[in-house]
Structure 1
Amino acid sequence: MASQDSLPKTADSAKLADARGIEPPPHHTLLSICKSLAAGGIAGGVSRTAVAPLERLKILLQVQNRDNIKYNGTIQGLKYIWRTEGFKGMFKGNGTNCARIVPNSAVKFLSYEEASRGILWLYRQQTGNEATQLNPLMRLGAGACAGIIAMSATYPMDMVRGRLTVQTEASPHQYRGIFHALSTVFREEGPRALYKGWLPSVIGVIPYVGLNFSVYESLKDWLIRSNPLGIAKDSELSVITRLACGAAAGTVGQTVAYPLDVIRRRMQMVGWKDAASVVAGDGKSKAEYAGMVDAFRKTVQHEGFGALYKGLVPNSVKVVPSIAIAFVSYEMAKDMLGVEFRISD
């Protein structure tokens, strides 16, 4: 983290610091915060665009009906999309995805930095040990807070992005874009529909984002401190090593949280009158869920436990580079923008 000796303090926090000998959480300038937000947004846009075809395939596999299976694997699915929809089909929904992920990533990274500083300050305040540094559990908590804040702030965009991604040229009803989808859902299904699947999303984001940050930062910290393979030079890790840390973090996080992501997608389709024709290929049946638990029960009951991991393979292929690229792009963007503070500094 940035040195706390040079950071400004409010009057109350300064008095507390003087009384207990503990520095309060730092307060950053508006320019520094904007730079950090920009770095997070850049990281999100770059990482998601790089894996956009796999992102679309994952969602299609998640909501694909067992009675109308068109593809089972990653390569087969990508070939089918390319054959039926061409190059544009590979990136369908990416504009909406980036419109959501750019602010989501910006808020997430900034929230993580501020949450980690706040948690560390509170721990030092309680223990009186100013030398204490962030541990994996603290990072997990900070990541969970960041994930909840970012997910809640951008959830309606995620909801309509899922529908835009699922619809095809054969869909009876077509959303023309992000704002048309938002206004249509709001008008036809009500404002609450924009937050369908929010609960499993929030529950899922706690281990997902929490583990992403915790594993990534803890791995980096361990490699720098112990340097087991002689890969750390001057307390810095190479881009390749940081990408590997990000890949490990993404693999752990998405494996734990994936079933909740499947349930979230299915709940988002409820209430969409054309969902059956898009997902199942017919207009006869459409799953209705009373809530998250009911969605879990019906999915397992009708399709088996394995249905909770539909699309896991393309998601794994997507998440490994996506998370890795996001973390490294974020740190590189902050270096280029000259941001004064960074995670793990």
Structure 2
Amino acid sequence: MSLLEKPNIAVSMTSTGSQLTTSVATVSASNGTTIEGAAAEDEDDFSAGRKGTTSAPANGSYNQSAKAPDVRNNLDGVLISLIAGAAAGALAKTTIAPLDRTKINFQIRKDVPFSFQASLNFLQQTYAKEGVLALWRGNSATMARIVPYAAIQFTSHEQWRRILQVDQNGTNTKGRRFVAGSLAGITSQSLTYPLDLARARMAVTDRYTGYRTLRQVFAKIWVEEGPRTLFRGFWATVLGVIPYAGTSFFTYETLKREYHEIVGNTKPNALISLAFGAAAGAAGQTASYPLDIVRRRMQTMRVNVASLERCPTILETLINIYREEGIKNGFYKGLSMNWIKGPIAVGISFSTYDLIKAWLRELSHLKRGRIDQ
């Protein structure tokens, strides 16, 4: 009969302010079996911000546990921004699609002067010839573009604000606010430009003589004009998006900041957000409109039957528009239409983005709370 040896017991005590945590560990007995003592569960003193801990786990386990929630929060924030931005862009563009198609048709034609009566006539003729759905012709291309475009734009804007440290620690960095908006516009436009060109092509043609589907637009351009055509007008677009996105985001963020300083409310209601977005849209459209004319002319030069000349560069397009149509009837043709549709679209976009983002964040916090329980 073998002798039963008394197990060795090691006791370690860790002081955390007013609490003592005792962990008891037993080593194996001589018969090869292991007897484990009950261990009290330590509280997460690091995350709670308590002081007075005299010992810490090795291998940086505190740092790893602290970084894990931060990474998860960042990923959740990016995903929320992507979803909210996509939904906001889709809703805004679908709302003003008939006005957008009308504006593009007048932008690319120099033989037809713009007026509200002419705009109404275009809408009536389109409806009579092709039906009500024709007013949304090209909206499928718009959705294929605007969903990733808006998602990327809003998400990249959040990231650029963080990188540039816009308005952090109570500062008022107006210049960085404008730069963050411009960089967000450049980022999204660069990644989705061929879809913008396809949308313009579908908007200025009908389903009988032009393109029937978005796929056909890319196929015909690739075969008949070459793949480089898919980026025709890209630099005019980039030059235009700098003042447009910069001014839009700058105006909206500035109005929200001023509202907070005056009223003390960091979250304006939907109506006020819509008004701030409308003002931002009007300012952005006015600042970039001449370059919007240029990019539309360059994008549609092969399908615009009223245009006999070819304008392969931005400078040549600007010169031709100025010589033949002047400043008001050329560079700002259809701007009054943009003052209607632009504020509506941008107002809906900004306010919808803020509402959906706040709603998704609340859902995320509730879901996380259930998981933690």
TM range (shorter): 0.7 to 0.9
Q: CA deviation at 1:72?
A: 5.7
Q: CA deviation at 1:92?
A: 0.7
Q: CA deviation at 1:303?
A: 1.8
- Indicate how the Cα distance of structure 1 residues 158 and 39 shifts in structure 2: closer, same or farther if over 3 A, else same: same
CA RMSD of aligned residues (A): 2.5
TM-score (norm 1): 0.79
Candidates 91, 115, 127, aligned match of 2:160 = 115
The residue aligned with 2:345 is 322
Q: Single out whichever of 64-73 and 93-102 deviates more from structure 2.
A: 64-73
- Indicate how the Cα distance of structure 1 residues 69 and 255 shifts in structure 2: closer, same or farther if over 3 A, else same: closer
SS of equivalent residue, structure 1 residue 66 = coil
- Indicate how the Cα distance of structure 1 residues 111 and 289 shifts in structure 2: closer, same or farther if over 3 A, else same: same
Candidates 312, 322, 327, aligned match of 1:290 = 312
Question: Which has more helix, going by share of residues?
Answer: 1
Paired with 1:67 and 1:47, the residues of 2 have a C-alpha distance of 28
Paired with 1:247 and 1:185, the residues of 2 have a C-alpha distance of 36
Give aligned pairs, total: 295
Q: Deviations over 1:82-126 (max 9, x none)?
A: 2333201211111111110110000000010000110017x9xxx
Q: Deviations over 1:200-254 (max 9, x none)?
A: 1000000100111000010011011123xxxx6x433121111111111110110
Please say if residues 274 and 348 of structure 2, whose CA atoms lie closer than 8 Å, have aligned partners that are also in contact. yes
Aligned AA (1:263): V
Aligned AA (2:253): E
In our comparison, the structure showing a higher alpha carbon Rg is: 2
TM-score (norm 2): 0.73
Matched, 1:151 2:189: yes
SS of equivalent residue, structure 1 residue 310 = coil
The residue aligned with 1:300 is 322
* Gap regions ≥5 residues in structure 1: 1-5, 7-25, 124-129
The residue aligned with 1:49 is 94
Matched, 1:79 2:124: yes
Please say if residues 71 and 77 of structure 1, whose CA atoms lie closer than 8 Å, have aligned partners that are also in contact. no
Identity fraction in percent: 34
* Gap regions ≥5 residues in structure 2: 1-46, 48-69, 366-373
Q: CA deviation at 1:71?
A: 7.9
What does residue range 276-287 of structure 1 map to in structure 2 within 5 Å? 276=305, 280=306, 286-287=308-309
The residue aligned with 2:198 is 160
Q: CA deviation at 1:337?
A: 1.7
Please say if residues 136 and 215 of structure 1, whose CA atoms lie closer than 8 Å, have aligned partners that are also in contact. no
Aligned AA (1:237): P
Paired with 1:33 and 1:223, the residues of 2 have a C-alpha distance of 26
Please say if residues 239 and 328 of structure 1, whose CA atoms lie closer than 8 Å, have aligned partners that are also in contact. yes
Paired with 2:281 and 2:94, the residues of 1 have a C-alpha distance of 17
What does residue range 1-345 of structure 1 map to in structure 2 within 5 Å? 28-66=73-111, 73-120=118-165, 131-169=169-207, 171=209, 174-227=210-263, 234-270=265-301, 272=302, 274-276=303-305, 280=306, 286-305=308-327, 306-338=329-361
Paired with 2:248 and 2:304, the residues of 1 have a C-alpha distance of 32
Please say if residues 120 and 133 of structure 1, whose CA atoms lie closer than 8 Å, have aligned partners that are also in contact. no
Question: Which has more strand, going by share of residues?
Answer: 2
SS of equivalent residue, structure 2 residue 165 = helix
Please say if residues 71 and 80 of structure 1, whose CA atoms lie closer than 8 Å, have aligned partners that are also in contact. no
